[in-house]
Chains A and B, each alone.
Chain A
Amino acid sequence: MNKSMIKTTVVTLFLIIAAVPGCNNRGTNIPPVSGLDGGEAWTSGLHVFSPQLRWQFGNELELMPMWVYIPQVAADPPLGEARPVPLLILLAPQNGDHFYFANHGLKILLQEMISDGTIQPMIVVCIPSNPAFGGYFYAGGYNFEDTTKVNDSTVPTTGNYDNIIGKDLINYIDFILNFRVLDSKQKHGIGGVGNGAYGAFRAALLHDTTFGSISVTDGPLDFDGAPGLGNGLIDLFVDALLEQGLLNVSDSLFKTFDSSSSWPLSKLFIGSSFAFSPHDTVIYDRKSAPNSRIWVIDSTKIITDTATLIPGFITGGSAYRFNYHLPFTSSGNVYAPIWNNFWMTEDLANLLDTSRTAGSPGLDGVNIWIATTDQANLNYHQQTQSWINTLTGAPYNYPVVVRNYRGAPGNPATGDQYLYDLLREILIFHSNSFGN
Chain B
Amino acid sequence: MKFTGVVLFVLLVLTMAALAGGFENNNVGLKATAMGGAFRALADDWTAAYYNPAAYALIPDNQFGGNAAFVHYRNELIPNYKRSSATDAYETGFFNDQPIYNPHEILSNPSGGLVLRAPVAGETVFGFSIYQPFDYNLTWTLFRPLTAYTNGLSLPADQYRTNLDVVAFQLSAGREFQEEQLYLGLGLELLRADLIFTEIIFRDNPMPAPFDDRPYEVIPEWAKNDGSGWGFGVRGGLLWKPAKRINVGLTAHLPFDITISGDSSNLNFYLPQVADTVALRAAGYTIGTIGFLYGSGARINALAEFETKLQLPPSAGIGVAFDVTEKLTVALDAQYMLWSQFAGFNFEYSNFSQISRLVDTSLLIDGADTTYTRDWVTQNTSHPVDWKNAGRVMMGAQYQVSSLFTLHAGGFLDQSPARNATQFTPNFVDTGDKSGLSGGFMFHINEWDFGIASSYTSYPDLKITALDSDGDGLDDSFPGLYKAGYYETVLSFIYRF
B128 sits at the interface (CB 8 A): no
Q: How far is the CB of A20 from chain B (nearest CB, A)?
A: 10
Chain B residue nearest to A34 in the complex (CB): B147
Chain B residues whose C-beta falls within 8 Å of the C-beta of A415 in the assembled complex: 209
Contact A43 B99 (CB under 8 A): no
**Alpha-carbon distance between A107 and B11 when the two chains are bound, in angstroms:** 57
Q: How large is the interface on B (under 10, 10 to 19, 20 to 34, 35 or more residues)?
A: 35 or more
Contact A4 B3 (CB under 8 A): yes
Chain B residues whose C-beta falls within 8 Å of the C-beta of A41 in the assembled complex: 275
Contact A405 B148 (CB under 8 A): no
Chain B residue nearest to A407 in the complex (CB): B85
Q: How far is the CB of B426 from chain A (nearest CB, A)?
A: 12
Which parts of B449-497 form the interface with A (CB within 8 Å)? 452, 454, 468, 473, 487, 489
B7 sits at the interface (CB 8 A): yes
**Alpha-carbon distance between A353 and B148 when the two chains are bound, in angstroms:** 41
B374 sits at the interface (CB 8 A): no
Contact B209 A97 (CB under 8 A): no
Chain A residue nearest to B211 in the complex (CB): A103
Chain B residue nearest to A420 in the complex (CB): B214
Chain B residues whose C-beta falls within 8 Å of the C-beta of A105 in the assembled complex: 146-148, 215, 275
Contact A7 B3 (CB under 8 A): yes
Which parts of B404-442 form the interface with A (CB within 8 Å)? 404-405, 441
Chain B residues whose C-beta falls within 8 Å of the C-beta of A11 in the assembled complex: 6-7, 10
Chain B residue nearest to A113 in the complex (CB): B147
Contact B6 A8 (CB under 8 A): yes
Which parts of A149-164 form the interface with B (CB within 8 Å)? none
Chain B residues whose C-beta falls within 8 Å of the C-beta of A44 in the assembled complex: 278
A250 sits at the interface (CB 8 A): no
Contact B14 A16 (CB under 8 A): yes
Contact A108 B151 (CB under 8 A): yes
Count how many pairs of residues, one from A and one from B, have CB atoms less than 8 Å apart in the complex. Answer: 135
Q: How far is the CB of A282 from chain B (nearest CB, A)?
A: 26
**Alpha-carbon distance between A404 and B86 when the two chains are bound, in angstroms:** 10
Which parts of A15-45 form the interface with B (CB within 8 Å)? 15-16, 18-19, 23-31, 33-34, 36, 41, 43-44
Contact B91 A421 (CB under 8 A): yes
Chain A residue nearest to B5 in the complex (CB): A8
Chain B residues whose C-beta falls within 8 Å of the C-beta of A407 in the assembled complex: 85
Best-buried of B90, B147, B151, B274 by chain A (most CB within 10 Å): B147
Best-buried of A41, A100, A102, A411 by chain B (most CB within 10 Å): A411
Chain B residues whose C-beta falls within 8 Å of the C-beta of A108 in the assembled complex: 147-148, 151
Best-buried of A18, A26, A31 by chain B (most CB within 10 Å): A26
Contact A29 B282 (CB under 8 A): no
The residue that A23 contacts in the complex, of B74, B99, B215, with Cβ under 8 A, is B74
Convert B72-97 into 0s and 1s, putting 1 for each residue whose CB lies closer than 8 angstroms to a CB of A.
10100000000111111011000100
Convert B266-283 into 0s and 1s, putting 1 for each residue whose CB lies closer than 8 angstroms to a CB of A.
000000001110110010
Which parts of A401-436 form the interface with B (CB within 8 Å)? 404-411, 415-421
A104 sits at the interface (CB 8 A): yes
B244 sits at the interface (CB 8 A): no
The residue that B147 contacts in the complex, of A29, A109, A406, with Cβ under 8 A, is A109
Contact B276 A418 (CB under 8 A): no
The residue that B217 contacts in the complex, of A67, A96, A411, with Cβ under 8 A, is A411
Contact B101 A26 (CB under 8 A): yes
Which parts of B205-240 form the interface with A (CB within 8 Å)? 209-211, 213-215, 217
**Alpha-carbon distance between A44 and B386 when the two chains are bound, in angstroms:** 53
Chain B residues whose C-beta falls within 8 Å of the C-beta of A398 in the assembled complex: none
Chain A residues whose C-beta falls within 8 Å of the C-beta of B404 in the assembled complex: 1, 5
B190 sits at the interface (CB 8 A): no
The residue that B274 contacts in the complex, of A12, A103, A418, with Cβ under 8 A, is A103
Which parts of B1-23 form the interface with A (CB within 8 Å)? 2-3, 6-7, 10-11, 14
Chain A residue nearest to B275 in the complex (CB): A102
**Alpha-carbon distance between A231 and B294 when the two chains are bound, in angstroms:** 40
A68 sits at the interface (CB 8 A): no
A53 sits at the interface (CB 8 A): no
Contact A406 B87 (CB under 8 A): yes
B100 sits at the interface (CB 8 A): yes
**Alpha-carbon distance between A11 and B11 when the two chains are bound, in angstroms:** 10
A85 sits at the interface (CB 8 A): no
B132 sits at the interface (CB 8 A): no
The residue that B213 contacts in the complex, of A26, A107, A416, with Cβ under 8 A, is A416
B156 sits at the interface (CB 8 A): no
**Alpha-carbon distance between A67 and B213 when the two chains are bound, in angstroms:** 20
A112 sits at the interface (CB 8 A): yes
Chain B residue nearest to A413 in the complex (CB): B85
Given A5-B405, A105-B147, check contact A28 B275 (CB 8 Å): no
B141 sits at the interface (CB 8 A): yes
The residue that A25 contacts in the complex, of B87, B104, B151, B217, with Cβ under 8 A, is B104
Convert A276-309 into 0s and 1s, putting 1 for each residue whose CB lies closer than 8 angstroms to a CB of B.
0000000000000000000000000000000000
Given A44-B278, A105-B148, check contact A31 B104 (CB 8 Å): no
Given A8-B3, A43-B278, check contact A103 B88 (CB 8 Å): no
B98 sits at the interface (CB 8 A): yes
Contact A27 B104 (CB under 8 A): yes
Contact B85 A405 (CB under 8 A): yes
Which parts of A82-125 form the interface with B (CB within 8 Å)? 96-97, 99-100, 102-109, 112
Best-buried of A34, A107, A108, A416 by chain B (most CB within 10 Å): A108
Q: How far is the CB of B170 from chain A (nearest CB, A)?
A: 31
Given A409-B473, A420-B214, check contact A103 B275 (CB 8 Å): yes
**Alpha-carbon distance between A4 and B2 when the two chains are bound, in angstroms:** 9
Q: How far is the CB of A195 from chain B (nearest CB, A)?
A: 14
The residue that B88 contacts in the complex, of A5, A19, A106, A421, with Cβ under 8 A, is A421
**Alpha-carbon distance between A67 and B276 when the two chains are bound, in angstroms:** 10
Given A405-B88, A406-B85, A406-B87, check contact A99 B278 (CB 8 Å): yes
Contact A28 B102 (CB under 8 A): yes
Chain B residues whose C-beta falls within 8 Å of the C-beta of A409 in the assembled complex: 83, 85, 468, 473
Chain B residues whose C-beta falls within 8 Å of the C-beta of A408 in the assembled complex: 83-85, 88, 90
Q: How far is the CB of B454 from chain A (nearest CB, A)?
A: 8
Contact A28 B151 (CB under 8 A): no
Contact A28 B147 (CB under 8 A): no
Contact A104 B213 (CB under 8 A): yes
Best-buried of A16, A44, A419 by chain B (most CB within 10 Å): A16
Q: How far is the CB of A318 from chain B (nearest CB, A)?
A: 28
Chain B residue nearest to A33 in the complex (CB): B144
B60 sits at the interface (CB 8 A): no
B103 sits at the interface (CB 8 A): yes
Chain B residues whose C-beta falls within 8 Å of the C-beta of A418 in the assembled complex: 88, 90, 213-214
Contact A109 B148 (CB under 8 A): yes
Contact A103 B85 (CB under 8 A): no
Contact B279 A99 (CB under 8 A): yes
Which parts of B257-302 form the interface with A (CB within 8 Å)? 274-276, 278-279, 282
Closest 6 CB pairs of A and B: A105-B148, A408-B83, A102-B275, A99-B279, A406-B85, A25-B104
| Chain B residues close to A by CB (< 8 Å) | 2-3, 6-7, 10-11, 14, 72, 74, 83-88, 90-91, 95, 98-104, 106, 141, 144, 146-148, 151, 209-211, 213-215, 217, 274-276, 278-279, 282, 404-405, 441, 452, 454, 468, 473, 487, 489
Besides A99-B275, A409-B473, 18 new A-B residue pairs in contact (Cβ under 8 A), listed by A number = A8-B3, A16-B454, A16-B489, A18-B14, A23-B487, A26-B101, A28-B100, A105-B215, A108-B151, A406-B86, A407-B85, A408-B85, A411-B214, A418-B90, A418-B213, A420-B213, A420-B215, A421-B88
Subset of 29 A-B contacts with CB under 8 Å: A8-B6, A11-B6, A12-B6, A12-B441, A16-B454, A23-B106, A24-B104, A25-B104, A28-B101, A28-B103, A29-B101, A30-B141, A41-B275, A97-B282, A99-B279, A102-B279, A103-B274, A103-B279, A105-B147, A108-B148, A109-B147, A405-B88, A406-B87, A407-B85, A408-B84, A417-B213, A417-B214, A418-B88, A421-B90
